[in-house]
Amino acid sequence: MLKEKLHIFGILGCVLCVVGSTTIVLHAPQERTIESVAEVWDLATEPAFLSYAAIVLAATFVLIYYFIPRYGQTHIMVYIGVCSLVGSLSVMSVKALGIALKLTFSGMNQLIYPQTWLFTIVVVACIVTQMNYLNKALDTFNTAVVSPIYYTMFTSLTILASVIMFKDWDRQNPTQIVTEMCGFVTILSGTFLLHKTKDMVDGLPPTLPVRIPKHEDDAAEGIPLRSAEGIPLRSPRATESFRSTL
């Protein structure tokens, strides 16, 4: 529909991203049981996750107010960085909101807790920010490149946020952790390949030397020039000689 093509290295990068993500998902730990939205709030207000949230917010503001005005139109990672960073917080908030709604429908009203409404506000703010900068990225860069890079960064940061907030690695053995790290490295490899080859067309390098016609040399050697219609044109030197004889 968009008539955008993906070259061979782009396809390879997408495959690497999918393989890495699949590896992480297959070896992900079991979700812990949450009894109330207050329990999620306790997890979200622990020092480790608060530090992560502060770093994400600081990085987001730096990207929005410093890097986007300068590099937003030339560097694909700027817009996607904002979407992915904010997206990792939105997933945690959506998860908390989903738990609150599930418990409410099961008979344990969670709407009476102010934390539920605070998570709702965070979800709305994060989703609006994500959609805004994701649309800008899609308007500026090739969709076939934006989608896998955004998917990869969003998934990676979401996993990182989940590990910090819910302490998933405490319930995993070393084999699972190493396998997940290998999957993460595979994702990074695919993202790097997509980013470095995003300007390639049909497998050609992104910057090929362009041979400029040497009109001056041709004129110096007396080679006649022709127009697009095939009509012979005078070279600049021949024109000067003709004028000097008048």
The overall pTM is greater than 0.85: no
What is the pLDDT, as a whole number, of residue 19?
A: 87
Whether the pLDDT of residue 232 is over 80: the answer is: no
Task: Work out the pLDDT band at 212, boundaries 50, 70, 90.
Answer: very low
Q: What is the pLDDT of residues 101-154, one digit of tens each?
A: 888 888 888 888 898 999 999 999 999 999 999 999 999 988 877 887 888 788
Q: What is the mean predicted confidence (pLDDT) over 183-203?
A: 73
Task: Work out the pLDDT band at 210, boundaries 50, 70, 90.
Answer: very low
Q: Which residues neighbour 218 within 8 Å (Cβ) at sequence distance 6 or greater?
A: 225, 235
Q: For residue 117, what are the CA distances in angstroms to 25, 37, 46, 121, 165?
A: 30, 11, 19, 6, 19
Task: Work out the pLDDT band at 208, boundaries 50, 70, 90.
Answer: very low
What is the pLDDT, as a whole number, of residue 177?
A: 79
Max mean pLDDT range (13-17, 97-101, 131-135, 151-155): 131-135
Max mean pLDDT range (38-42, 198-202, 227-231, 235-239): 38-42
Q: Classify residue 89 as exposed, middle or buried by CB count within 10 Å of its CB (0-12, 13-18, 19+).
A: buried
What is the pLDDT, as a whole number, of residue 28?
A: 73
What is the pLDDT, as a whole number, of residue 166?
A: 81
What is the pLDDT, as a whole number, of residue 57?
A: 95
Candidates 150, 166, 167, 34; CA nearest to 87 is 150
Cα separation, 15 vs 190, in Å, equals: 7
Whether the pLDDT of residue 188 is over 60: the answer is: yes
**Contact status, residue 182 vs residue 26, Cβ threshold 8 Å:** no
What is the pLDDT, as a whole number, of residue 214?
A: 42
What is the pLDDT, as a whole number, of residue 196?
A: 73
Max mean pLDDT range (98-107, 199-208, 232-241): 98-107
Residue 242 identity: F
Q: What is the pLDDT of residues 51-77, one digit of tens each?
A: 999 999 999 999 999 999 999 888 889
Cα separation, 68 vs 65, in Å, equals: 6
What is the pLDDT, as a whole number, of residue 244?
A: 55
Whether the pLDDT of residue 85 is over 90: the answer is: yes
Q: For residue 236, what are the CA distances in angstroms to 18, 160, 211, 233?
A: 59, 66, 21, 9
